[in-house]
């Protein structure tokens, strides 16, 4: 008898679970707000060897021998090699090396570069070896460059003749006979006598858009594939520097690459357990190249400049420039606007034109300060706001709300930003899975009249280990339904950080991981990409029993219309452990179609993509038949679905 009753209840329960339907109303004729066409962007910082050793395709580390206090870092020398700092060709990178072969060539003289955790080369590909040299000998002198793989096999060699007492640039192509991720480059003097060498460089011939001072093709392509609406650069804490002297100064990053003064990287000794004393910024990827990439990606440039504070996380060592010396920093901001937007005859626009871009870059945004807090930030920011507004009223100024997503400083900074009337406020949140799920309603009650939100850095940090697993991606997808629903408040959004070298990272998790040969896109990447590719033009009210879907039974949803493409796009996240049956009724939708496209992202919660298994979690597409504008969707447990109708 008891057994029969038990079976009866199991039947009733399973019947009710599997047939519970969620009737969702999508009001198609009354968009609640339009969506900024540049809403989903990228945040780039040279952290985790993201620029030097990453996106920037240079393969030689410390090519100009100017790493602070360690001019030979990254190099091993043999024979007679000495470092010089007088009489070099580049005043802002003064060091170079002198190679001498005194008597015979038995032991030889030369130097070997270790690259960025090795030099990655691919069989059959060409590499452009270049350097500056001079020789006081009255004969031509032979310089050889040879790539050697991790097992000491020769990979490719080139010899270049050098002649004359004046510094000149030399170059040649070297073809790799095999592939290896951890080669070294041996540069040697093959003649008797003396030669000075400077700015020794090796680039793949194939770079993004075939530019000489180019970017790694696969990484740039992965960024382009996100269709980023905006591109925030150059950081992050790197903007602020370890101290004011090492802050990011954009003027040092333009002009000929050889004479851009090397600077230490903010992330070289930040973490004791992640000590990278060899992490410097060559600035080969500088502001001109950033603007160029923005153009390539059709992204709005969004530079961030120092507001006169060094990184405030450097407890006890932070520096703030005296207020009466702030004008130089404000001038940097005004000059940057001229560099980006001024005519080719203006002082800074002329430099842009000389670098090969006479047309303006049409920069619209400028952020002042990264993660500042304390009683002084708004006073400093005000000085910038006044002068920028006066000279360039069209520029949208971005202020910050500190490093926290809530709390006393956040509560203090927001009203200050409002009273300064900045256009956008940068919010950062590196938070837990639960935080992200709860934050799906974060913006529902934000002030509609104040500055807009720039969700400038966010990432779900899972516990106990921070991972780019599916759990984190799903939580971000759920959070973004709330961002999308509140597109009148949140104008810009970007995940952070963007890039990480698997052998040289300081921060985890990151959107894209790479080694010297390959890259892998995290599931978080695909979430960002789906939001960006299917962003629509206007938000549609989407409700269950009159309320937005923001976590009821683990369901999160938002809908948009794309007026240009004539599409309704619905995004649904199911974080629960059971399948959900949803029926979306498109209220007042006159068009009727027989099919919809369904794109879904689904995996075990702890699953990850890796370099060896990069496609474990990727979006899958299928076609759904539709009748009477009723979109009936069975959303698998723990999955993210985008429906395009
Ligand atoms: O994204 C990594 C760091 O996090 C950024 O440099 C900084 O803005 C934040 O603290």
Strands 300-305 and 230-233: parallel
For residue 104, the model assigns a pLDDT of 66
Contact 638/605 with Cβ under 8 angstroms? yes
Rounded-to-integer distance, Cα 117 and Cα 243, Å: 27
Contact 424/381 with Cβ under 8 angstroms? no
For residue 19, the model assigns a pLDDT of 54
Looking at the predicted structure, is the pLDDT value of residue 16 above 50?
no
**Which of 428, 431, 458, 524 has the most ligand 1 atoms within 8 A of CB, as the residue to mutate?**
428
Mention every residue, 6+ apart, whose C-beta is less than 8 A from residue 394: 364
Q: Find the angle CA(331)-CA(254)-CA(82) to the nearest 5 degrees.
A: 120
530 C-alpha to center of ligand 1: Å?
Answer: 24
- Nearest Cα residue to atom 4 of ligand 1: 236
> What is the average pLDDT across 497-512?
97
Contact 295/360 with Cβ under 8 angstroms? no
Structural tokens at position 263: 């600077």
User: Radius of gyration of the chain from Cα atoms?
Assistant: 28
Q: pTM above 0.85?
A: yes
Q: Which helix (H) or strand (E) holds 346?
A: none
pLDDT band at 8 (very low <50, low <70, confident <90, very high): very low
pLDDT, tens digit, 9 for 90 and up, residues 348-369: 999 999 999 999 999 999 999 9
For residue 105, the model assigns a pLDDT of 59
pLDDT, tens digit, 9 for 90 and up, residues 323-344: 999 999 999 999 999 999 999 9
For residue 33, the model assigns a pLDDT of 98
Structural tokens at position 274: 């992640």
pLDDT, tens digit, 9 for 90 and up, residues 94-105: 999 999 998 765
Cis peptide bond N-terminal to 234, omega within 30: yes
First to last CA, the chain: 51
Q: Name the least confident of 298-302, 376-380, 591-595, 613-617.
A: 591-595
Q: How many CB atoms lie within 10 A of CB 326?
A: 17
Contact 480/531 with Cβ under 8 angstroms? yes
- Nearest Cα residue to atom 1 of ligand 1: 497
The helix/strand/coil state of 263 is strand
Rounded-to-integer distance, Cα 425 and Cα 450, Å: 10
The helix/strand/coil state of 22 is strand
pLDDT, tens digit, 9 for 90 and up, residues 226-276: 999 999 999 999 999 999 999 999 999 999 999 999 999 999 988 888 889
pLDDT, tens digit, 9 for 90 and up, residues 405-464: 999 999 999 999 999 999 999 999 999 999 999 999 999 999 999 999 999 999 999 999
Q: What percent of the chain has pLDDT over 70?
A: 97
For residue 459, the model assigns a pLDDT of 98
From the candidates 371, 471, 476, 484, give the one annotated as an active-site residue: 371
pLDDT, tens digit, 9 for 90 and up, residues 187-200: 999 999 999 999 99
Contact 300/38 with Cβ under 8 angstroms? yes
| Of 239, 227, 229, nearest in space to 400 by CA | 239
Looking at the predicted structure, is the pLDDT value of residue 3 above 60?
no
Cis peptide bond N-terminal to 472, omega within 30: no
413 C-alpha to center of ligand 1: Å?
Answer: 18
| Of 223, 175, 231, 198, nearest in space to 98 by CA | 198
236 C-alpha to center of ligand 1: Å?
Answer: 5
**Which of 49, 235, 267 has the most ligand 1 atoms within 8 A of CB, as the residue to mutate?**
235
Is the C-beta atom of 241 inside 6 A of ligand 1? Answer: no
Q: What are phi and psi of 644, to 5 degrees?
A: -120, 120
For residue 628, the model assigns a pLDDT of 81
Q: In 217-226, which positions are buried (b, 16+ CB within 10 angstroms) versus exposed (e)?
A: eebbebbeeb
pLDDT, tens digit, 9 for 90 and up, residues 377-390: 999 999 999 999 99
| Of 296, 256, 286, nearest in space to 130 by CA | 256
For residue 314, the model assigns a pLDDT of 86
Strands 452-460 and 424-431: parallel
Task: Pick the atom of ligand 1 nearest to 457's CA.
Answer: 1
> What is the average pLDDT across 575-585?
96
For residue 17, the model assigns a pLDDT of 44
Looking at the predicted structure, is the pLDDT value of residue 4 above 60?
no
Rounded-to-integer distance, Cα 339 and Cα 160, Å: 38
Classify the C-alpha dihedral 401-402-403-409 as positive or negative. negative
Structural tokens at position 126: 């060409």
* Per-position DSSP letters for 618-630, written without gaps between them: --EEEEEE-BTTE
Is the C-beta atom of 402 inside 6 A of ligand 1? Answer: no
Is the C-beta atom of 38 inside 6 A of ligand 1? Answer: no
Dihedral angle at the C-alpha atoms of 176, 503, 521, 148, nearest 10 degrees?
0
pLDDT band at 27 (very low <50, low <70, confident <90, very high): very high
- Nearest Cα residue to atom 8 of ligand 1: 236
Structural tokens at position 645: 């109708």
pLDDT, tens digit, 9 for 90 and up, residues 116-170: 999 999 999 999 999 999 999 999 999 999 999 999 999 999 999 999 999 999 9
For residue 438, the model assigns a pLDDT of 98
| Of 202, 303, 320, 201, nearest in space to 254 by CA | 303
pLDDT band at 106 (very low <50, low <70, confident <90, very high): low
Q: Find the angle CA(554)-CA(559)-CA(564) to the nearest 5 degrees.
A: 155
Is the C-beta atom of 369 inside 6 A of ligand 1? Answer: no
Task: Pick the atom of ligand 1 nearest to 403's CA.
Answer: 10
């Amino acid at each position: 008898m008891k057994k029969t009753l038990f079976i009866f209840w199991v039947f009733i329960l399973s019947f009710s679970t599997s047939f519970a339907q969620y009737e969702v109303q999508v009001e198609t004729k009354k968009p609640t707000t339009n969506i900024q066409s540049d809403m989903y962007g990228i945040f780039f910082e040279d952290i985790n060897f993201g620029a030097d050793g990453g996106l920037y395709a240079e393969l030689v580390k410390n090519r100009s021998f100017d790493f602070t206090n360690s001019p030979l870092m990254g190099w091993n020398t043999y024979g007679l090699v000495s470092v010089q700092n007088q009489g070099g060709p580049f005043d802002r990178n003064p060091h170079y090396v002198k190679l001498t072969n005194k008597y015979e060539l038995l032991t030889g003289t030369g130097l070997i570069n270790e690259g960025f955790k090795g030099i990655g080369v691919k069989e059959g590909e060409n590499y452009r070896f270049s350097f500056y040299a001079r020789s006081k000998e009255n004969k031509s002198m032979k310089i050889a460059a040879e790539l050697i793989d991790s097992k000491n096999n020769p990979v490719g060699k080139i010899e270049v003749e050098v002649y004359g007492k004046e510094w000149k640039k030399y170059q040649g192509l070297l073809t790799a006979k095999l592939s290896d991720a951890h080669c070294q480059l041996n540069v040697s003097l093959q003649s008797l006598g003396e030669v000075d060498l400077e700015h020794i460089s090796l680039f793949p011939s194939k770079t993004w858009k075939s530019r000489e001072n180019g970017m790694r093709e696969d990484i740039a392509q992965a960024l382009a594939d996100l269709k980023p609406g905006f591109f925030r650069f150059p950081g992050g804490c790197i903007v602020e520097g370890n101290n004011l002297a090492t802050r990011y100064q954009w003027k040092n990053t333009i002009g000929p690459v050889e004479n851009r003064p090397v600077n230490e990287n903010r992330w070289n000794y930040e973490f004791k357990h992640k000590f990278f004393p060899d992490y410097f910024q060559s600035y080969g990827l500088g502001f001109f190249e950033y603007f160029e990439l923005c153009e390539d990606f059709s992204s709005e440039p969004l530079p961030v400049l120092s507001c006169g504070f060094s990184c405030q996380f450097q407890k006890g060592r932070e520096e703030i420039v005296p207020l009466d010396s702030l004008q130089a920093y404000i001038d940097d901001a005004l000059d940057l606007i001229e560099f980006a937007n001024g005519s080719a005859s203006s002082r800074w626009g002329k430099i842009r034109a000389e670098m090969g871009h006479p047309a303006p870059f049409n920069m619209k945004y400028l952020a002042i300060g990264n993660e500042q807090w304390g009683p002084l930030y708004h006073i400093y920011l005000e000085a910038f706001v006044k002068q920028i507004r006066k000279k360039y009223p069209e520029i949208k100024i971005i202020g910050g709300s500190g490093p926290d997503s809530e709390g006393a400083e956040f509560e203090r900074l927001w009203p200050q930003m409002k009273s300064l009337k900045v256009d956008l406020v940068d919010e950062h949140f590196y938070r837990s899975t639960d935080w992200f799920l709860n934050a799906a309603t974060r913006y529902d009650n934000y002030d509609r009249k104040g500055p807009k939100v720039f969700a400038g850095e966010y990432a779900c940090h899972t516990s106990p280990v921070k991972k780019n697993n599916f759990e984190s991606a799903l939580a971000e997808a759920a959070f973004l339904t709330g961002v999308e629903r509140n597109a009148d408040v949140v104008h810009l959004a970007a995940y952070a950080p963007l890039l990480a070298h698997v052998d040289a990272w300081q921060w985890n998790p990151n959107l894209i991981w790479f080694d010297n040969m390959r890259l892998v896109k995290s599931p978080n990447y695909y979430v960002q990409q789906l939001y960006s590719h299917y962003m629509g033009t206007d938000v549609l009210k989407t409700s269950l029993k009159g309320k937005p879907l923001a976590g009821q039974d683990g369901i999160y949803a938002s809908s948009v219309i794309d007026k240009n493409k004539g599409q309704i796009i619905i995004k649904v996240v199911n974080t629960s452990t059971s399948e959900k049956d949803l029926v979306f009724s498109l209220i007042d939708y006159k068009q009727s179609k027989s099919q919809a496209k369904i794109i879904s992202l689904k995996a075990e919660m702890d699953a990850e993509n890796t370099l060896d298994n990069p496609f474990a979690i990727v979006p899958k597409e299928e076609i759904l038949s539709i009748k009477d504008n009723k979109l009936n969707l069975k959303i698998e447990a723990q999955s993210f679905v985008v429906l395009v109708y």
